[in-house]
Structure 1
């Protein structure tokens, strides 16, 4: 299939983002710049028969429901195939994010979905427009249960078009255009300084000679970092590029795919051509982070709860912090604990693991009991320690003094504790050398013993 044909029928939908993506501001911003919401294209046929162990009537009804869902799925698929335009899902992701590409099928009710081997994933290589099969490795894998393609973490080199292929019918089930944003150092601005006039946000500008304009799209504010004390909240501004006059081409070389992004294209997008991305004013314009002071009250402690029976009589009074004897308590989420052994001078990146439900709470890091303030930590450490746009903690040129437990918090909830132990790089080399030389000596000694034993046996035979 020709690449140009695929681009011409491209439409943009909301990107498929995993819940482990830990920056609510950027995640909300991705939703904002995507013109269409993500819709599950085909609901898979649910298996209901295995859940029934009752009467024949129940099993018969479950089988009937499965075949009705299967028929509905086929009708929806046929309706889409007969439609005038095919849809390619445009996915917008940040480097380092986990991405799942869904391959929605309509399996027959008598087929076990996890045993389907009729699905392959192919990728269109942008350098030569050639199709290659996607090979699994530690970072890229295919879900055995759903046949979805998972990229964890996604890399800039993964950008391109992906095809979920039904090899039995030789048809494309789903087509995706994956766009990965480059990492960049964000311009940090205090909201109070903007109000006082001592600082300002980057203003939009026009490049009339190219029919382009650059501007910033802002996310909503996150929740306050802590409650019952003066804290901070954050919002992210993404640098965007769009046409000034949509009906006119971009100069000197037009980019047809821009017409399919009505909200614009991020300045660090892989969709943007090298000629446009290298324009000095676009290249030098940075995305922004705005930090503001805030205060939020902590949740109040609920009062006692009165539990009554069917007749309305009080059977139990449960005070705050206690649970009823008639219901199982909801256990708190387990804290993730990890230990990392890292050599001196390494660039260490700590990411907060997935924890809890989605919220606007800001991720914050602590070094033991010391709160790492994203506003001042870079300046205090002269750029050696900082936090990036998705709240990962970077420690450059590791020192032995960096050995400590690092705690990742979301609002008032501790998500994970990562204990970092910094070791001498020379020690690792010495240990490897000792193991190597010991193994070599044992090998030589074993060969010597074998030769001695063989010689002794021959000598005995000769003596006889």
Structure 2
């Protein structure tokens, strides 16, 4: 009887184990089958054709991404078309020679075409080789900061408030591909410039072109883009710079010293010296076109967080420097540059704004809260103080009352502060003959004292 119960128990245990295993396998198969059907449904409905794919490479049914994807390819083919049109049949990419006045801004664009397939897998870097470098193989990586601003994709860089030491070669690289090289020449602002205050003189100047038949050259002015208005909600000034440029009258097949896109700045070191010394080229000055302007101040940028019903949950005034915790970390603004200058009385001095807010905007000078108007300060000082076209304050002869705190601003924001201290100078006018006679008298006195002391000592010794 006991044996029979034991056998029945074993049969029941075996049966229930098989049933549980079968049910478990059925559940797993059903789950796997449902997932497979779900994937097949997505495939046939166009929601997902490929798995584990970058959405920027295949935008699926997202119409916004599709348009972005299409535009990226159109831009890529347009870039290739422009590059091939530029190199023509020679298949040679010539470098570009640029010139900039010290304190102005320069924009450099990378000439490498990057396809959308490589856009998110490769990195673009900018490099620099100084004109003072002894080796052309030295390259320094360019980073944001000190007046250099990179675009989000590094396609171009903007250099504000250019310095003389920034002259040199610039180029971009993507992997093993090297872009066209820019040779930048920074000109000092010691020489006078021509300023055109109205539109008529500007049009007259742009149409003027002089030919140098001896070298088959033409000399003209290349104008930079307009700067932004110097202030907002009030009448301000905008300006642009014109630089002397030479190019060939006719493009020829033989090699010439002008092979950098058929134009060179007149002061470029790549232009032969005998050409730079031609009177027409040598005497041509840097030109500035200046116009009055007025623009509206930008409105405050408000970042808001709303719920599904449209109610405002959070508000942050980004223009006032207030940001939400869910926003990305904002880029820090350039710090205010400060400088203290000590100069002697009656000396000649030039005040240059020590800072820049990474903006191509003319400088506005202030003493306390009062704006320095160039025409007023020149007339009030009888020409002793004036502001040159580069917006630098020039003192022909310093006076003690010129000591003050000067601030320079862009877009109504302070970019730099200069504290000017005027010190007195005491001059001693000495006659060399008087100095010689005085030295002889002093030496004679010491010799007489020494001789009397020596005689007195000899007398005591004898006694």
Q: TM-score, normalized by length of structure 2?
A: 0.50
| Bigger proportion of residues as helix | 2
Query: Which of 1 and 2 has greater Rg?
Result: 2
Q: TM-score, normalized by length of structure 1?
A: 0.50
